[in-house]
């Protein structure tokens, strides 16, 4: 997917947004509007190339810029462009306390880059170690904090949260990859390994880093519901075993934080006679019904 390669650049764009140079004076109003509109999603290389073009070629660049981000070129509507412009309009409406430029504030930038948070919490009297007004935005596993340190209504993203922007963007692009391309791509890829426990018995272990699981916010905690389906085929490609198991689980905020860098895993015990086999594995996210399949070979 073409847009996926932009994810890290988008995170970097957020970090560099405040240091962007002034609008060049040799641009016409349409070109200035374009650069202003895409300031959070255009890469440094693209911006430099655009400014180096003669005026006669800039309109073509603008057209190709949006085309390169169109998730489905076969339709007349460019969903990416529509969503991006819609987020700008929403950010202007939501963050009005910033003298009409709410979309240029930290909250506006994050809203435009990542979309609305799954959960938004406001703490006018502070929160935990923060003594100033603070907002907490949740995107699945991730938490972003904005603090009004000057008590002027301008909530700034704390540095630790800013470093998570690219990670969240990568996760979001992964979640969208299957629905936007129509391909059987992994929503959340998983790892597979097999260990021998006896002459006939094998244990298939499936694992996923917790950071790659898209949790849904529920009250003060988070939940996920995964289903693992397996099918065993012999050398003649005949199905000889099958099974499935669901794994619903919930974690508190602190528990989820403790899982960073760790893996969720499940094991499938198999009893097989001597021979060559193939094991088809399907991991489903029951929250959105998206799934990914893998097939491995096994010799006993």
pLDDT reported for residue 285? 78
Task: Round to whole Å and give the CA distance between 33 and 48.
Answer: 16
Prediction pTM value:
0.56
Nearest to 212 by CA among 119, 108, 290, 115: 290
pLDDT reported for residue 243? 93
- Please tell me whether residue 130 adopts helix, strand or coil conformation: strand
Question: DSSP secondary-structure letter at 120?
Answer: E
pLDDT tens digits, 82-123: 999 999 999 988 887 655 578 889 999 999 988 898 888 889
pLDDT tens digits, 210-225: 877 777 766 667 788 8
Q: What is the domain partition of the chain in residue ranges?
A: 2-180, 191-299
CB atoms within 10 A of CB 214: 20
Which residue bears the tokens 């689980």? Answer: 249
Task: Round to whole Å and give the CA distance between 155 and 149.
Answer: 7
Is residue 133 within 8 Å of 154, Cβ to Cβ? no
pLDDT at 164 over 50: yes
Dump strand ranges (E) for the chain: 119-123, 134-139, 142-147, 156-157, 191-196, 201-209, 216-218, 221-233, 239-252, 263-271, 276-285, 290-299
Nearest to 85 by CA among 58, 115, 62: 115
pLDDT at 181 over 70: no
pLDDT reported for residue 182? 40
Candidates 3.30.460.10, 2.60.40.2150, 1.10.8.60, 2.120.10.80; CATH matching 191-299: 2.60.40.2150
């Amino acid at each position: 997917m073409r847009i996926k390669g932009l994810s890290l650049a988008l995170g970097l764009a957020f970090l560099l947004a405040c240091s962007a140079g002034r609008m060049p004076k040799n641009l016409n109003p349409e070109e200035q509007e374009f650069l202003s509109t895409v300031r959070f999603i255009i890469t440094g290389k693209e911006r430099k190339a655009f400014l180096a073009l003669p005026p006669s070629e800039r309109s073509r660049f603008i057209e190709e810029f949006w085309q390169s981000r169109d998730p489905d070129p076969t339709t007349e509507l460019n969903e990416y462009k529509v969503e991006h412009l819609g987020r700008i309009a929403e950010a202007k409406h939501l963050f009005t306390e910033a003298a009409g430029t709410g979309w240029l504030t930290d909250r506006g930038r994050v809203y435009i880059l990542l979309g609305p948070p799954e959960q938004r919490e406001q703490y006018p009297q502070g929160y935990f170690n923060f003594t100033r007004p603070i907002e907490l935005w949740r995107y699945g596993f991730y938490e972003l904090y904005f603090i009004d340190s000057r008590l002027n209504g301008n909530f700034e993203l704390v540095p630790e949260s800013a470093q998570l922007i690219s990670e969240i963007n990568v996760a979001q692009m992964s979640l969208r990859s299957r629905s936007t391309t129509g391909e059987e791509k992994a929503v959340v890829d998983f790892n597979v390994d097999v260990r021998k426990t006896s002459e006939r018995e094998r244990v298939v272990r499936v694992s996923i880093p917790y950071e790659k699981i898209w949790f849904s916010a529920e009250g003060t905690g988070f939940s996920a519901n995964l289903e693992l389906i397996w099918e065993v085929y012999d050398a003649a490609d005949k199905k000889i075993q099958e099974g499935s198991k669901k794994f619903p689980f919930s974690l508190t905020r602190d528990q989820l934080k403790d899982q960073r860098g760790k893996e969720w895993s499940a094991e499938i015990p198999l009893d097989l006679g001597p021979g060559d086999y193939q094991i088809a594995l399907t991991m489903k996210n029951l929250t959105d019904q998206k799934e990914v399949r893998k097939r491995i070979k096994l010799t006993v």
